[in-house]
């Protein structure tokens, strides 16, 4: 039997709760940068930075696409993706804040109100338990992951956390080490 724990989504209407959950040392002062850039007096309504993914490719095509981006430095389809952008919370931007697709379109349409930040300020860790990794983005349309496939992904994820990250993401290494320890503690039965 397999048990999955899904995190509860943060209540985005509670801004104080959002700021309170950020640990000390979170990224290279990301919270301070966002607070300064997106304050009420600034003409800037959004910013984006280099975002990175730590994941096991979902399939062969995903592996090839990741390799192409790394070697040829081809941009992703969207400006905004998981954890690489922020927008001022206003009623006018409500639709743009709903998804990375809406946000990307807004960023393309309003370049004078967007600040690109050149630093690598986020790392999205797609874990073994993510709905994407388990191929359950739309659970009603998919079949449960088969045990051999799950065990294969488990071994791939154990290997993923063995190495340190490149210099721009060195600030993430303590958390990667914790993920490595966690994956080593997991026992198959």
Distance of CA 52 to the CA centre of its chain: 7
Supply the DSSP symbol for 77.
S
Q: Given a cut of 80, is residue 96 above it in pLDDT?
A: yes
- pLDDT band of residue 9 (cuts 50, 70, 90) is low
Query: With a threshold of 0.85, does the pTM exceed it?
Result: no
pLDDT digits (tens, 9 = 90+) for 52-88: 888 888 788 888 888 888 788 887 788 888 778 888 8
As a whole number of Å, the CA-based R_g of the chain is 18
Cβ 119 vs Cβ 49: under 8 Å? yes
Domain ranges of the chain: 28-126, 128-189
Predicted local confidence at residue 7, as pLDDT:
41
* Residue 91: φ, ψ to 5°: -60, -40
């Amino acid at each position: 039997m397999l048990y999955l724990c899904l995190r509860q989504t943060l209540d985005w209407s509670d801004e104080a709760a959002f700021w309170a959950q950020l640990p000390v040392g979170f990224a290279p002062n990301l919270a301070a940068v966002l607070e300064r850039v997106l304050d009420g007096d600034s003409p800037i309504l959004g910013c984006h930075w280099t975002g990175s993914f730590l994941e096991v490719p979902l399939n062969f095509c995903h592996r090839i696409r990741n390799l192409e981006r790394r070697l040829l430095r081809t941009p992703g389809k969207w400006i905004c993706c998981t954890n690489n952008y922020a927008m001022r919370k206003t009623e006018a931007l409500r639709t743009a804040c709903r998804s990375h697709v809406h946000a990307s379109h807004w960023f393309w349409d309003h370049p004078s109100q967007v600040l690109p930040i050149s630093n690598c300020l986020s790392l999205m860790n797609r874990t073994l338990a993510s709905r994407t990794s388990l191929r359950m983005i739309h659970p009603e349309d998919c079949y449960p992951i088969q045990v051999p496939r799950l065990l294969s992904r488990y071994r791939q994820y154990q290997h993923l956390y063995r190495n340190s990250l490149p210099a721009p993401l060195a600030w993430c290494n303590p958390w990667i080490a914790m993920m490595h320890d966690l994956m080593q503690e997991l026992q198959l039965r």
